Amino acid sequence: MKNILPILFTIAALSGIAPAKELHFPEKGDSLFTITIPNSWKPGKDDDNILEASSDEGHIYLAAWELKSEKDAKALGDDIENLLKDHAKNIKLDGKPTECKPGGLEGLLFKGHAKDKEDDSKIEFFALLITNKDKAAVIYIEASEDTPEEDSAKLEKILKSIKPGKE
pLDDT of residue 80: 92
For residue 29, count other CB atoms closer than 10 A to its CB: 8
| Residue among 70, 26, 52, 19 at smallest CA distance from 166 | 26
- 104: alpha, beta or left, given left = phi > 0 and alpha = psi -120 to 50? left
Is 92 within a domain? yes
**What are the helix (H) ranges across the chain?**
4-14, 70-74, 76-84, 149-160
Sign of the dihedral defined by the CA atoms of residues 144, 146, 149, 154, in that order = negative
Q: Give the CATH number of the domain where residue 137 resides.
A: 3.40.1000.10
Do the domain assignments include residue 13? no
pLDDT (tens, 9 = 90+) of the chain, 167 residues, equals 444 444 444 444 444 455 888 999 998 888 999 999 999 999 999 999 999 999 999 999 999 999 999 899 889 989 999 999 999 999 999 999 999 999 999 999 999 999 999 999 999 999 999 999 889 999 999 999 999 999 999 999 999 999 998 75
Domain contains 119: yes
In a domain, 3, yes or no: no
CB distance 124 to 145 below 8 Å: yes
Domain count, the chain: 1
Domain that holds residue 51: 19-164
Q: In the 8-state DSSP scheme, what is residue 104?
A: G
**Residue 71, in any domain of the structure:** yes
Asked if 163 contacts 103 with a C-beta cutoff of 8 angstroms, the reply is yes
